[in-house]
Each structure stands twice: as C-alpha cells, then as structure tokens.
Amino acid sequence: PEPERPDQLCEERDLKKNLQRGLAQMPKPHRRALLLYYSEHLNHNELAPLLGLSPAGAKDHLNKGRRYLRHHLTKLESRYARR
C-alpha cells in the first residue's frame, strides 16, 4: 500500500474532528443510538431495549442522527467551498 499523502492525512483529521463536533452537538438520544449502532455493532432490535424504544423507534433515532450529521457535514463543506 502507498503511504498516505500529507493532504490526505489533513483531510482525514478534519473529517474526524468535524464528525466529533457534529456528534457532540446533536440531541443526546440520537447520538447514543448512533454510537451504540456503529461502535457496538448492534442492530435495531438490540438497540431498542437499551434506548427504551421499539425497534421502529430505534431505527427512527438512527435515521435522525444520520440526517443531522449529513446536514452538519454538508454545511461545513459548503463553507470550505466558498473559500
């Protein structure tokens, strides 16, 4: 594998920082659902009792969290594009 270029490393670092910032700003129930889903690899049925929700409710929290992050990152991307 090729070594990563410095600009790639900077982009990855910025993305990670922006993801962390977006997670910190989103509503806690959506953040918790996303973190459990992606870090613990739980499915909707496994998430539901941990969140005190139905499986459909857990899925809804995940979708809202993803939309929040997408909006957060898109907003940042448009700021960088204007520079």
Say if residues 53 and 30 touch (Cβ distance below 8 Å): no
Q: Is 68 helix (H, G, I), strand (E, B) or coil?
A: helix
Q: At residue 2, does pLDDT exceed 70?
A: no
Q: What is the pLDDT of residues 19-52, one digit of tens each?
A: 899 999 999 999 999 999 999 999 999 999 999 9
Instruction: Match 């900077």 to its residue by tokens.
Output: 10
Q: Enter the tokens of residue 41.
A: 């690899």
pTM: 0.77
